[in-house]
Structure 1
Amino acid sequence: MRKLVLVASMALLAACSAPQQEQINFMPKAVLSNSDIVQDAAFTLTSKDMRSAQYVALVDSGRSNIEPIHSKQNVRISIENALLDQFKSQGFRSTVNSENSVEVEVQEALVSVKHSVMENQMDGKVVLQITAETPQGKLVKTYTGTAKRTGALSASNEEIEEVLNDVINLVLQEVSNDRELQNYMQERF
């Protein structure tokens, strides 16, 4: 019995020391408004992750080895929370049962990395679709952010993280500055 416990303990310790899959931080920053465009207009915010896979980066080292890297945070929830903060800073109020709704679809959030010993190339892309809907109709807008970056040596996880976060922040800035979306929500919510 002792040998069995010893073998089981060693197997458990070996499993714990196995390399963990690498992850990066996904931290979208809300673009906060200095002034309200509405006073307490209510809406319901929902989101969907339409990506076919949950990783946020694909690293191709050129040796028939493509490694996916996942986010430590839930991408859909992080984006939803950032947009909620943006809309709140403009004077909107989130509620669970409003006839006005905003739906966010995460269609793409990926950094493709090709690297060799001497250099790396990163291509980041984030695509969000936002649908603002009221009983009078709806507005559907797609926001796309892209970035290309090259560097010496292999790309580190910190560099991949930086590209991904820069691209999502560009998209959030675009949403924040979109007058058509603001006017639609302001007039109808």
Structure 2
Amino acid sequence: MRAPGQRAGLDRDAVVTAARAVLDEGSALSMRAVAGRLGVAPNALYSHVDGRDGLLDAVLDDLLGALPLPAGDTDPTAGLTELMTATHELLLAHPGLVPHFVARQGSRGPNAQRLGEAMRVLLTRGGVADRGAQDSAIRVLVVHAIGDAAVAASADGSGPIEPDRLRASYATGLRWLLTGALSRS
């Protein structure tokens, strides 16, 4: 027997996937829109998520789950570059989600925590051992990725900056930030 709100085939992953599709289409996120996409009543979603904000947080964190961690023996600069470039590319692939990362000031779910810990390991190996300095470096790197993706998302390709130039600019800024952060040791 199913619990209230459960339907055959409806689970948290299905709800999050439907919500991401709504956002990727550029539509406003609402419980009604997600429920309509799934063919259920909006109240059925509450068995799987804690309201709209909980659903949005789940979508943002689920997206970050696609990011691979650098290998354990990766050079700190190369590992941070790899991770932050992959983050930037992921955000560019989902421009409809970028404003939500800005509004929610990132993500705090388990995937975001996993990525943050990987960044801490790389920063420590790069000579940045102080937790406060690590927090600052992580915040600056994440803001750089989200902010640059927000600029790219607002440029539809017909604007003054082409996508390849935006990516090159991001890479240059990332290199500068990492040089500064890792020179603190």
Q: Same fold (TM over 0.5)?
A: no
Higher percent of residues as strand = 1
Q: Over alpha carbons, which structure has the higher Rg?
A: 1
Between 1 and 2, higher relative CO (CA 8 Å, sep ≥ 6) is seen in 1
Higher helix share: 2
- TM-score, structure 2 length as denominator? 0.30
TM-score by length of 1: 0.30
